[in-house]
Structure 1
Amino acid sequence: MITGKNYIGNKLSALGTISHKTINPKLNIENTTEFIEATFEEIEEAAQLASEAFKVFRKVSGVQKAAFLNAIANEILVLDQELINAYTTESGLPEGRALGERGRTIMQLKSFADLVSNEDWKGNKFDAAIPDRQPLPKDDLRKTVTPLGPVVVFGASNFPFAFSTAGGDTASALAAGCPVIVKAHEMHSGTSELVASAIIKAAEKTGMPNGVFSHLSGRGPIVGSALVNHSKVKAVGFTGSINAGRAIFNLASKREEPIPVYAEMGSINPVIITPLAIANRGEAIASTYAGSITVGTGQFCTNPGLIITTENDKTEDFIQDLANKTVAIEPQCMLHPNIKAGYNKNEASVTSQEGVKTVAKIEGELKNNFVASAIASVSGANFLANPKIHQEVFGPFSLVVKSKDEDQLVAIIEALEGQLTGTIIAEKEDIENLTDIVDALTNRVGRIIFNGVPTGVEVCPSMHHGGPYPASSDSKFTSVGVDAIYRWVRPVSYQSFPTELLPESLKNN
């Protein structure tokens, strides 16, 4: 049941006087529950509880942590239709999307449970002592990883399950041995509270220490800033806009003890399409990309917001076909009136720049919080000359850039900020000429796709979901897949240590 209260460890709390309601974007009305925003007293209590829980939780065995993560997955499933209804009511997304995202969230939890059920993931290193080595003896050295401490996770607006309360950041931090404090996204506070209740039940059933998880509500930066600045917090996970992610990063870096912020932020995900691919299968590519641009109303961090090709006699026909197919797809609802307003503002900003032409845009009156998808185009020269055209338009929009030749195409890629993904659509005959493009993309993105679409992020060990700034705040780490756990641990070496004092995973070698 949704209460509108905060979870301070396993205790429901509502000390505050400030509240908010979520919005049903399809009906454009407020939902009924009032969510009481956390006070500084509650933030303090949650942080202190997390710090005390860490002393115990960091030493919990991998098998016990696996049982905890699996129990979370089971408790989420127990919520059944109540949770699905909250998701659709607060997001405007369809039930099928809710079920799919819930399935992904369950899979993530179980993947981390499998990972930590043994110690292999720690990558322990052993160097035996050589006491008679000349000119100096060598000590026994053993290296492992240890969890950082309490982690604050900010829920994402566009993934109420998979990148929020029990999403990848929370699952990986708990797997690492770090207590988690979730700051719920205000757009889906009810959904978030229900998932939080599942985590609390799982913690109690598996004997985890009180404070291993807390859940706080709060709009704007007040609650988030207080959490990031708290001395007991040792790391932050964030998925959202560049402005918010950078603000959190700046706060964390200015602390007396700076802490890492693993922020996954903006990306326009360039797609390079060769002229030969357009000539051979332009219509099929246009159909595929019209679907990719508009899926989920374009509200994905991997939405293909930039398409680059080399201009020839078929380029304009392809762009027009892509535009026609895109706007022929029925308009969809965005997550929130504020996200719709942001889309409209940014789309207007890009299309108002010199040389940018709107090729097609849905016209006419739309339902509440539904938006008009659009395709625009611009020359390579204009794109290179104007960084304002490079900005992300979060929604069903893509800009097609027409380069004059391959050299300019490579220059366009090199001029981009860091991106999550880059895609190459090409024919077999193109492969020998793609080396410069691949090299340029490798320097700017975290994942390169060949003859596919960037939307859709597989949860598996080989996935890297991150990239050079501003795609993420630290390009060395992924926020998807089991390697996400390495954000929340640090290496530590033990030199000439008595066996009895070593961590369990270092004793048997």
Structure 2
Amino acid sequence: MLEIRGHNYIAGGRSAESAVTLQSIDATTGEALPYAFHQATEAEVHAAAEAAARAYTPYRDLSAHRRAEFLDAIAVEIDGLGDDFVSLVTQETALPSGRIQGERARTSNQMRLFAEVLRRGDFYGARIDQALPERKPLPRPDLRQYRIGVGPVAVFGASNFPLAFSTAGGDTAAALAAGCPVVFKAHSGHMATAECVADAIIRAAEKTRMPPGVFNMVYGSGVGEWLIKHPAIQAVGFTGSLKGGRALCDMAAARPNPIPVFAEMSSINPVLLMPEAIKLRGALIASELTASVTLGCGQFCTNPGLVIGIRSAEFSAFIETLAGLMAEQPAQTMLNAGTLESYRSGVQRLRGHPGIGHLAGAAQADGRQAQAQLFQADARLLIEADALLQEEVFGPTTIVVEVADEHELLAVLEGLHGQLTATLIAEPADLASCGELLALLERKVGRLLMNGYPTGVEVCDAMVHGGPYPATSDARGTSVGTLAIERFLRPVCYQNWPDALLPEPLRDANPLGIPRLVDGVPTRSACGEG
């Protein structure tokens, strides 16, 4: 049986100073579940941040292999969360058990992936320029650089991924791998889920003898500001709305010592349908696109919210087929009442816009379910940067835009804000003149797909889950894949230090056997070897 205490996690212990509690809700029925959680007080948030600060030096000083053992132990504990846990998550989120089982595996596997990053050692980014005492007119000093964790990181849980983007999700995994203790702010939509995963992390920390405070968690609305403004916090990871992400960015920038916020926020993920592809497989594309738009009730940050095609008889037939398929889609239960209300408001704004037509989708019922919707907008709205078309409607909705020709297609794309993804559905004959199109898309998005759909994000070395604003607050990073660790690292340079006092990654003998750049040459050898 699962034990849910509803207390905040601070320095390996539990705390419940406030009498104010928050109730876990059954996402399908709206009824209260038998789990209440104590809202964190300002003093408890302060204590959690201070605990992370105390843990920072001893945790960062551990070898990369010891931190890897910790991440592997977390993965084992998460894999051990059984059917009762899966049932709990489905109650809190209305997501099916198969989805939760897959997300549980993804969460543990990304922990193991970051453990491998630690073992191979390339995350250190070690660079060595040996001294040149005879260089004229001035000698060069001995210079050595590597990267360390920035310090305690605040991570905010996401509503739509209760495991993979939440308590032990990608931001937490990347921060812990970088040597940064975490203070996690649990999402109100799945607090019991967060508690079970936090317990798993604490068990792993105890079994691998990690310092108390390496992981902390607080509950409550309004506690985020206390967390962001605490001087111990040195970086923030966030997945959520544009409004929420901007608020965190503004608070972090206004601190006496500003800190970076790595926020994934808003994306409409355009899908570009090229003429030959529509001619050869228009009906199949309509079916695939419908499946992608409605997958998981459209509650993915990579959901394709904009479909663009060049005017033709075939594209008109495609729109008609797509409308028919979207009209057939059953209503689905959304994650929580707030998500449903936001979706209904977004759909209503689209319905009320004079330049947007409604093609398919039943009116929203009074219950807790969302109906899939299809709209069509005039291309001029994108060219003129109409604000409504740039807004993400989080749910099973997409907008079709018909352009006159390739010139208007480029003009439409030029008007788009930054995106997580862009997809090209094309045949070889479509690609001959795509150079300018691809160059434009590369400026706008973080991931370019060919003949696929964006609602699937592989966790691997090459993945980029990021993009220019407002897709994220910092386009130089990713929240998925091993590159995510770099958000929580900073470089440190040693000049003319004796070898015995250098950190191991920078010593002449290369005792860790890691890849390094020595005098401009990539090598795993000791300094001075061939």
Normalised-by-shorter TM-score class: over 0.9
After alignment, is 480-489 or 78-87 more displaced?
78-87
1:444 paired residue number: 444
CA offsets per residue over residues 148-178 of structure 1, 9 Å max, x none?
Answer: 0000000000000000000000001000000
1:413: how far off? Answer: 0.8
1:328: how far off? Answer: 1.6
2:170 paired residue number: 168
SS in 1 for 2:82: helix
Matches within 5 A, 1:325-474: 325-363=325-363, 365=365, 368-385=367-384, 386-474=386-474
2:114 paired residue number: 112
1:330: how far off? Answer: 2.2
Query: TM-score w.r.t. structure 2 length?
Result: 0.94
2:319 paired residue number: 319
SS in 2 for 1:214: strand
Q: 1:20 aligns with which of 12, 19, 22?
A: 22
- Code of the residue aligned with 1:9 in structure 2: it is A
1:88: how far off? Answer: 0.4
1:405: how far off? Answer: 1.3
- Code of the residue aligned with 2:58 in structure 1: it is V
Matches within 5 A, 1:203-218: 203-218=205-220
- Code of the residue aligned with 1:372 in structure 2: it is Q
8 Å contact 1:363–1:372 — kept in the other structure?
A: yes
Counterpart-to-counterpart distance in 1, 2:414 and 2:85 = 44
8 Å contact 1:140–1:496 — kept in the other structure?
A: yes
SS in 2 for 1:3: coil
After alignment, is 1-10 or 165-174 more displaced?
1-10
Tell me whether 1:286 sits opposite 2:286 in the alignment: yes
Counterpart-to-counterpart distance in 1, 2:279 and 2:25 = 46
- Code of the residue aligned with 2:78 in structure 1: it is I
Counterpart-to-counterpart distance in 2, 1:153 and 1:278 = 43
Counterpart-to-counterpart distance in 2, 1:286 and 1:249 = 38
Q: 1:189 aligns with which of 188, 191, 194?
A: 191
SS in 1 for 2:421: strand
- Code of the residue aligned with 1:418 in structure 2: it is G
1:257: how far off? Answer: 0.3
Counterpart-to-counterpart distance in 1, 2:454 and 2:153 = 29
1:105: how far off? Answer: 0.4
8 Å contact 2:364–2:370 — kept in the other structure?
A: no
Counterpart-to-counterpart distance in 1, 2:63 and 2:327 = 53
Q: Residues 113 and 364 (structure 1 numbering): CA distance in 2 closer, same or farther, change over 3 Å?
A: closer
1:482 paired residue number: 482
Counterpart-to-counterpart distance in 1, 2:359 and 2:130 = 67
8 Å contact 1:353–1:389 — kept in the other structure?
A: no
Q: Cα RMSD (Å) of the superposition?
A: 1.1
Unaligned runs of 5+ in 1: none
1:214: how far off? Answer: 0.3
8 Å contact 1:176–1:485 — kept in the other structure?
A: yes
Alignment identity in percent?
A: 45
- Code of the residue aligned with 1:235 in structure 2: it is A
8 Å contact 2:382–2:415 — kept in the other structure?
A: no
Counterpart-to-counterpart distance in 1, 2:387 and 2:279 = 30
Counterpart-to-counterpart distance in 1, 2:379 and 2:150 = 46
Query: TM-score w.r.t. structure 1 length?
Result: 0.98
SS in 1 for 2:189: helix
- Code of the residue aligned with 2:426 in structure 1: it is A
Counterpart-to-counterpart distance in 2, 1:284 and 1:270 = 18
1:40 paired residue number: 42
8 Å contact 2:468–2:475 — kept in the other structure?
A: yes
SS in 1 for 2:128: strand
Tell me whether 1:249 sits opposite 2:243 in the alignment: no
2:512 paired residue number: none
1:363: how far off? Answer: 4.7
8 Å contact 1:155–1:239 — kept in the other structure?
A: yes
SS in 2 for 1:432: coil
8 Å contact 1:377–1:401 — kept in the other structure?
A: yes
Counterpart-to-counterpart distance in 1, 2:129 and 2:30 = 63
CA offsets per residue over residues 132-161 of structure 1, 9 Å max, x none?
Answer: 111111111111001100000000000000
Counterpart-to-counterpart distance in 2, 1:394 and 1:502 = 50
After alignment, is 297-306 or 43-52 more displaced?
43-52
8 Å contact 1:127–1:142 — kept in the other structure?
A: yes
1:479: how far off? Answer: 0.6
1:88 paired residue number: 90
Q: How many residues in Structure 1 have an aligned counterpart in Structure 2?
A: 506
Q: Which runs of 4+ in 1 moved over 6 A?
A: none
SS in 1 for 2:447: strand
